[in-house]
Amino acid sequence: MTVQCSRPYPLGATTDNSGCNFAIHAPDCPDIQLALFEENGEFVTHTLDNEYAGIRHVYIHGVKPGQRYGYVVQVQGKPHLISDPYAKALESALKYNTPFSSSKSFRLPKCIVCEDTFDWQGIAAPNRPRDEMILFETHVKGVSKLNPEVPEAQRGAYSGLVSDAMLAFYRKQGINTLQLLPIAACMHEPHLLNMNKVNYWGYNPYLFMAPDPRYAANDACTELKTAIRELHRNGIEVILDVVYNHTAEGGQDGPVFNLKALDNHYYLTHGSHFANYTGCGNTLDLSHQASLNLVMDTLRHWVSEYRIDGFRFDLAATLGREGDHFNAGGAFFKAVAQDPVLKQVKLIAEPWDIGPNGYQVGSFPFGWNECNDRLRDITRSFWRGDRGYLKEFATRLMGSRDLYSAANWPYRMTVNYITYHDGFCMQDLVSYKHKHNEANGEQNRDGHGDNRSDNYGVEGETESNTITAKREKQKRNFMASLLFSFGIPHILTADVLSHTQKGNNNAYCQDNDISWLNWELSDRKTAFADWLSEMIQARNQFMVLSFALLAASPVTITAFSGDVSTGILWSTTIGTN
């Protein structure tokens, strides 16, 4: 008889034919115990007798995929259940009644031992060149929740992304890349739970590797893999929006879910307090080896097990933080650059955070693409009629080459956008002068104040044909500027349908029809969607060719600009410098 010994790597729960190996990085938690749960909630604990370099590990015979588990530690002298930072699945969606406590920790959803098997049916990833990408930012739930053509059981779910109705929509609109808002398991902030709200956007990670059960009927892992496989089958890439700048543990007085109990060096600190470069009170320190390992292992997991095509990194300046300074040659960027898996996928940075020296547009390493807020702001000001923006508007249209040399395209090509999930959607950009976030419960103090928007005479919805016509023309001006500027266009899927959030420019907690896309299309909305589809076809015909020609020699590019509703064209000759 062979006696199976435990091992420190890989971290997490790893099964074989005889049982399961459990390993967890816990240098500051020597009394940690593994808890295996029964269906009735009872559990048995096991001591992790083996240790290597701060990693505690144990092998348990007979454990199979589907086993529910967690770890018991001591917090202020009380038994406290924490999750495995390397857990690949959770049994159910996350929620608790505030205030959080050690006793309530045992009521949270348990981690699930997984078996990484899935039938990909021989479907290969599209491997789309960057210059062909058009990013459509999409919320898994919101995109299909109200679509009457999606079967009811699939609405708002991973499976809804690949329903027949949604696949037909992608084809009609020319959508080739979905950028999904965060789908890693998200815990809601205490103030939202107190208001019976949720973090709808998902920017408060509880576990980095586990897909959020909110969007699954039964098995989030299998249902998400199925959705990605079917998107790939239809030539659509999937970019994940990921959050590695903080976790849901929320600062000094926030709840203890895992990392706080395991290693005192996971987070950046100022003295005895957590550094707050994110506005969330606990900035992950990627110069610490365990933090870096966790992020790198997680990214590889999404690519290897889910075949994700790339990542958009939220507040990515934090990833290069060394205290108050940003280092483009920091440990994280070097680790990604040498990783045989990650260096093959798309990497997109939101190149700032809210800390000192946090605005780093143009500073990320070669091979990264960056979100370009300057194109957003200048284009909004220009089309609103503000004076003094013509020259810089031209610079933004030509690829912001003061920031990103054309000689480095497509590897340093800017990600251009007019609207993003945070801020006004396109319909509200031309319908509201001021933000209206009262529904968020924060007295309209939240959300960006510098929106550079206009209502053209009436705040919000109107029956005036003159104002409506002006708004429709401005929407087309914005979209034409975006699609025919040099770079990777980023479009809100909500904007395709002319969806309105009723003036809310920070709908992060609105899990309702403020955020769920309205599929009741009027003639006006249908006409805009049809026009946008034609413009995307025109971009694919004219702009994509120009990127290839640009590297070889100066070339004359013809694109829509000016009053696009009348089809006015301009042309310019550009070079590669």
Q: Which residues pair with 36 in a beta bridge?
A: 44, 69
Per-residue pLDDT for 560 more than 90?
no
pLDDT in tens, 87-101: 999 999 999 999 999
pLDDT of the residue at 550: 65
Pairing of strands 68-75, 237-242: unpaired
Q: How far apart are CA 357 and CA 325, in angstroms?
A: 6
| pLDDT range class, residue 572, cuts 50, 70, 90 | very low
What average pLDDT score do residues 123-138 get? 95
Q: How far apart are CA 287 and CA 467, in angstroms?
A: 53
Q: What are phi and psi of 127, to 5 degrees?
A: 55, 55
Per-residue pLDDT for 231 more than 90?
yes
What average pLDDT score do residues 166-177 get? 98
pLDDT of the residue at 315: 97
What average pLDDT score do residues 427-455 get? 96
pLDDT of the residue at 390: 96
| pLDDT range class, residue 535, cuts 50, 70, 90 | very high
Per-residue pLDDT for 270 more than 90?
no
pLDDT in tens, 479-527: 999 999 999 999 999 999 999 999 999 999 999 999 999 999 999 999 9
Catalogue the active-site residues.
314, 350
pLDDT of the residue at 552: 58
pLDDT of the residue at 565: 42
Measure the N-to-C terminal CA separation of the chain; round to a whole number of Å.
69
Q: Where are the alpha helices (H) located in 177-218, listed in sequence order?
A: 190-194
Q: How far apart are CA 226 and CA 229, in angstroms?
A: 5
Side-chain half-sphere CA neighbours of 470 within 13 A: 17
Per-residue pLDDT for 574 more than 50?
no
Side-chain half-sphere CA neighbours of 285 within 13 A: 19
Q: What are phi and psi of 33, to 5 degrees?
A: -130, 145
Average pLDDT over the chain reads 93
Residue written as token pair 């949604």: 166
Per-residue pLDDT for 143 more than 90?
yes
pLDDT in tens, 17-33: 999 999 999 999 989 99
Of 298-302, 357-361, 428-432, 558-562, which gets the smallest average pLDDT? Answer: 558-562
Torsion of CA 518, 349, 250, 516, to 10 degrees: 0
Q: What is the CA radius of gyration of the chain?
A: 24
Per-residue pLDDT for 36 more than 80?
yes
| pLDDT range class, residue 3, cuts 50, 70, 90 | low
What average pLDDT score do residues 106-125 get? 96
Per-residue pLDDT for 556 more than 60?
no
Side-chain half-sphere CA neighbours of 388 within 13 A: 0
Structure token digits, residue 62: 């007979």
Q: How far apart are CA 87 and CA 105, in angstroms?
A: 16
pLDDT in tens, 191-207: 999 999 999 999 999 99
Structure token digits, residue 285: 């320190």
Per the CB < 8 A criterion, the answer to whether 384 and 454 are in contact is: yes
pLDDT in tens, 511-524: 999 999 999 999 99
- Closest by CA to 251, choosing from 230, 268, 236, is 268
Per-residue pLDDT for 577 more than 60?
no
Q: Where are the alpha helices (H) located in 326-463, listed in sequence order?
A: 331-338, 373-384, 390-397, 426-429
Per-residue pLDDT for 570 more than 50?
no
pLDDT of the residue at 562: 44
What average pLDDT score do residues 428-452 get? 96
| pLDDT range class, residue 354, cuts 50, 70, 90 | very high
Per-residue pLDDT for 564 more than 70?
no
pLDDT of the residue at 576: 38
pLDDT of the residue at 407: 77
Q: What are phi and psi of 166, to 5 degrees?
A: -70, -40
Per-residue pLDDT for 133 more than 50?
yes
Q: Reduced to 3 states, what is the DSSP secondary structure of residue 555? A: strand
Per-residue pLDDT for 534 more than 70?
yes
Indicate the helix (H) or strand (E) that contains 13: strand 12-15
pLDDT in tens, 381-427: 999 999 999 999 999 999 998 998 877 877 788 999 999 999 999 99
Of 240-249, 265-274, 289-298, 435-444, which gets the smallest average pLDDT? Answer: 265-274
- Closest by CA to 86, choosing from 56, 64, 126, is 56
Q: How far apart are CA 84 and CA 113, in angstroms?
A: 10
E strand intervals along 331-378: 346-349, 369-372
Per-residue pLDDT for 549 more than 80?
no
pLDDT of the residue at 58: 98
pLDDT in tens, 447-459: 998 999 999 999 9
